[in-house]
Amino acid sequence: MKSTYFILLPIALVLFSNQSSHAQKQTPVKRHIGVSKANPTFFSYPDGSPYIPIGINLINPSGRHNQNPDSAFYEIESWMKNLAANGGNYIRIWLSQSFWDIEDQAAGQYREEKAKRIDRFIEMARKYNLKIKVTLEHFRSVTLQENAQPWANKSVYHTSHGGPLDSIRQYIRSTEGHTLFLDKVDFYQKRYGSDTLFFGWELWNEMNAMRGPEDSLFFDWNLKMLAEVKKRFPQNLVMQSLGSFDHENVRPIYKKMILLPGNEVAQVHRYLDLGAKMEVCHAPMDIICSSAIEELISYRSGKPVILAETGAVEPSHAGPSKYYPLDTAGILLHDILFAPFFSGSAGAGMAWHWESYVHKNNLWYHFGRFHEAIKGIDPIKESFKVKKAEVGSTRVYILKGKKTSLLWFRDISNTWQTELEQGERPHILSGIRVDLKDLGFKASGRRMEVYDPWKNTWTTIKPKKRVLVLPEFKRSVVLRISE
């Protein structure tokens, strides 16, 4: 994300006593998550059962609580509680963000006070059984001359502040820079180990956004550090992220990163951004999300693909979207959750703006609706075939499984433009006729149920010959076909 999202300042925190989060004291929650051996495009536990991540970016507390850490954790817990109550099982944190940053005063020196904040966060996530994707770094410069974004500057590394570096390029290419990165990883390894609570370790947030290192140096660093972090956390996933996929120039960088050895998860960031050069970033939200997943799948990496960061922004990431206050129904969040999974992703899409959009508009129930729509589904065993079609006035996203298939019908005429920009209410669609044979399904011997995520209701229906008529709905419904 861009600098305009961060108005947070570092603060002091009352020490959290009676910590039990050191590796030797932890009580593991369930089991480690890995890439499925049976179907490596999905995640699984060691016994082969699936893990479908349903969650959100939850990077830091909001700025208004920075002067009262206990209040900040009260806020964080309210987010976790709401997410978990609605079937959520995944969150992301930036350990380098100012509220958590253990290395905020001097290079190579780690503050126990800040580490105890991270301990407290981890134990809170454990309480709600939320797996954590841990992002290690996010800075883009060591001086404001390199990058005039204070939130992305690591000034303690610069020689003028007693550090060993004169530039971000030196951080990437030098032994001193490598040592700074790995020493901190070692600190976390000794403190937490390969905790089962961790979804995985992400090296950096949008690392290609830093200016200075040439591509060869950039990829050499990533190849080395992916392997080094995996050595330290052999039971956790290790991955990397790149900036928003919103212009053609990032395509070769994305493809190389997704195929890079040691990068275990194929991640993509993409936003509804009217300032983006790619026209697809101006499209309906389901298309924005689905096209990002389809792009990464086309690289044939054989890795799980997730839309790891998404949402809606003002042009060129100038701030949260002006449409958020209008989206009290959560049409953007609905598409963010549903479109990636129904396009072949290993999980739901992961929204940004957890506080200013999702929490502010009380949209947590949408996670529950997605969870309900896919309940009981084992994507590993189903080995879904992904297809798209148009039926009547709907765009149909099809996951055709061995025993159970899911079809998400999305009203083509209902978009963020019509509902949020033009103020047009969603139409009630009725009499949508689905020719099952045309979509590759048999009508006989199948159970057919329709889930309406806007009403949270299931309806059992029967086809006449090979034609199925959907119950009336607005915006979208899910059809489940099972043996």
Rounded to 10 deg, the angle between the 365-373 and 331-341 helix axes is 30
**In angstroms, rounded to a whole number, what is the distance separating the alpha carbons of residues 73 and 100?**
12
The answer to whether the pTM exceeds 0.85 is yes
The Cα-based distances of 154 to 18, 96, 97, 147, 288 in angstroms read 31, 9, 10, 10, 33
Report the pLDDT value the prediction gives residue 47, as an integer from 0 to 100. 95
Task: State phi, psi for 237 to the nearest 5 degrees.
Answer: -70, 150
Residue-wise pLDDT for 441-467, tens only, equals 988 888 999 999 999 999 999 999 899
Instruction: Name 388's bridge partners.
Output: 397
- Secondary structure E strands in 222-380: 237-239, 266-273, 305-313
- What pLDDT is recorded for position 462? 93
Query: In the predicted model, is pLDDT for residue 295 greater than 70?
Result: yes
Angstrom distance (rounded) from CA 302 to CA 39: 9
Is 60 exceeded by the pLDDT of residue 117? yes
Exposed e or buried b per residue across 29-42, where buried means at least 16 C-beta atoms within 10 angstroms of its C-beta: eeebbbbbeebbbb
Closest Cα to residue 221, out of 186, 169, 258, 147? 169
Q: Do 443 and 436 contact (CB within 8 A), yes or no?
A: yes
Reported as a pLDDT band with limits 50, 70 and 90, residue 7 is: very low
Say if CB 207 and CB 241 are below 8 A apart. Answer: yes
Average pLDDT, the chain: 92
Instruction: Summarize the confidence of residues 46-68 as an average pLDDT.
Output: 89
User: For residue 14, what pLDDT band results from cuts at 50, 70 and 90?
Assistant: very low
Highest mean pLDDT among 9-23, 393-407, 438-452: 393-407
Q: What are phi and psi for residue 474, nearest 5 degrees?
A: -125, 145
Q: Do 122 and 21 form a contact (C-beta atoms < 8 A)?
A: yes
**Which residue's structure tokens are 């909001």?**
62
Of 377, 371, 273, the closest CA to residue 318 belongs to: 273
Top pLDDT among 344 and 5 is at 344
HSE toward the beta carbon, residue 137, CA cutoff 13 A:
27
Segment 215-233 mean pLDDT = 95
Average pLDDT of the segment spanning 310-323: 97
User: Rounded to a whole number, what is the largest CA-CA distance in the chain?
Assistant: 77
Asked if 343 and 386 count as a contact pair (C-beta separation under 8 A), the reply is yes
Percent of the chain predicted with pLDDT > 90: 86
Quick one: which of 120, 29, 115, 24 has its CA closest to 74?
Answer: 120
Cβ pair 453, 476 in contact under 8 A? yes
What is the pLDDT, as a whole number, of residue 66? 65
Residues 276/246, Cβ–Cβ less than 8 Å: yes
Encoded amino acid at 271, one letter: Y
* Pairwise CA distance, residues 62 & 202, whole Å: 22
Domains of the chain: 3-377 (3.20.20.80), 386-482 (2.60.40.1180)
